[in-house]
């Protein structure tokens, strides 16, 4: 099958997602008492960390998209400025959490597909394609938590983000390699399926659980 790169996400969605994730990261930095530069750093990692890891670590095909276009850094800077000037008011906005959750639900599958498409075009193996897709989808959140010295929320019981990213990546690969779907159609099927599962999980409060049998070791550091 010939692998072609294609532009999947409308620019406006990419910009909205970047802005909302940057707002979320900026608020997190502000709540932790960071200076403006620290808030900006958390905002960049929160909104573009997955893409930075994808382009800089895995694909290494030139400067990351974040640095090639001034638009993304401008959007992130605007989000930080908004939090600096109106942070308390923004934090009290009732619909901000729902907007971020909605963008998360769409972006989880969408950015996984974008990462996998670029990995396929770069000639990576299928396991490598899945890894790049997952990193593109959830890597920013993990990198953000590590940066602020917090246990990554996606590793903890409750969230399904990593599981859904993996499901989406495996589904996409199966559609194009086993069922010979066109990339475009496989991409949108993956996005819709991941979005639907995520919204069902939110609606019915479906949560991941820790592995049983190790309760006595929870919250205790490993000893050599």
Task: Tell me the pLDDT band of 223, cut-offs 50, 70 and 90.
Answer: low
pLDDT of 117-128, one tens digit each?
Answer: 999 989 999 999
What are the C-alpha distances in Å from 153 to residues 18, 69, 81, 130, 174? Answer: 20, 30, 26, 21, 29
Is pLDDT of 158 > 50?
yes
Our CA angle for 150, 152, 154, nearest 5°, is 155
| Residues contacting 20, CB < 8 A, separation 6+ | 99, 100, 103
Q: Residue 162 in contact with residue 141, Cβ under 8 Å?
A: no
Residue 136 has pLDDT above 90, yes or no: yes
Q: What pLDDT was estimated at residue 9?
A: 66
Domain spans, the chain: 11-205
Band (pLDDT 50/70/90 cuts) for residue 3 is: very low
* Long-range Cβ pairs for the range 78-83 (8 Å, 24+): 78/19, 79/19, 79/22, 79/23, 79/26, 79/43, 79/47, 80/22, 80/26, 80/36, 80/39, 80/40, 80/43, 82/23, 82/26, 83/23, 83/26, 83/27, 83/30, 83/39
Q: How confident is the model over 29-76, as pLDDT tens digits?
A: 999 999 999 999 999 999 999 999 999 999 988 888 899 989 999 999
Residue 13 has pLDDT above 80, yes or no: yes
Rounded Cα gap, residues 6 and 213, in angstroms: 46
């Amino acid at each position: 099958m010939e692998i072609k790169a294609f532009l999947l996400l409308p620019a406006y969605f990419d910009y909205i997602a970047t802005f909302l994730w940057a707002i979320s990261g900026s608020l997190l930095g502000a709540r932790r008492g960071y200076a403006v530069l620290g808030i900006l750093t958390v905002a960049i990692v929160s909104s573009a960390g997955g893409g930075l890891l994808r382009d800089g670590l895995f694909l290494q095909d030139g400067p990351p998209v974040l640095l090639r276009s001034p638009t993304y850094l401008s959007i992130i800077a605007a989000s930080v400025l908004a939090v600096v000037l109106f942070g308390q008011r923004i934090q009290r906005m009732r619909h901000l959490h729902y907007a971020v959750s909605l963008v998360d639900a769409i972006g989880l599958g969408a950015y996984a597909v974008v990462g996998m498409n670029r990995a396929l075009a770069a000639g990576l193996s299928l396991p490598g394609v899945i890894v790049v897709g997952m990193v593109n989808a959830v890597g920013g959140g993990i990198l953000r938590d590590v940066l602020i010295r917090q246990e990554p929320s996606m590793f903890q019981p409750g969230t399904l983000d990593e599981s859904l990213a993996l499901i989406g990546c495996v589904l996409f690969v199966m559609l194009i390699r086993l069922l010979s779907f066109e990339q475009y159609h496989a991409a949108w099927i993956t996005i819709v399926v991941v979005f639907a599962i995520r919204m069902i999980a939110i609606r019915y409060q479906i949560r991941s659980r820790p592995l049983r049998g190790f309760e006595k070791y929870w919250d205790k550091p490993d000893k050599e």
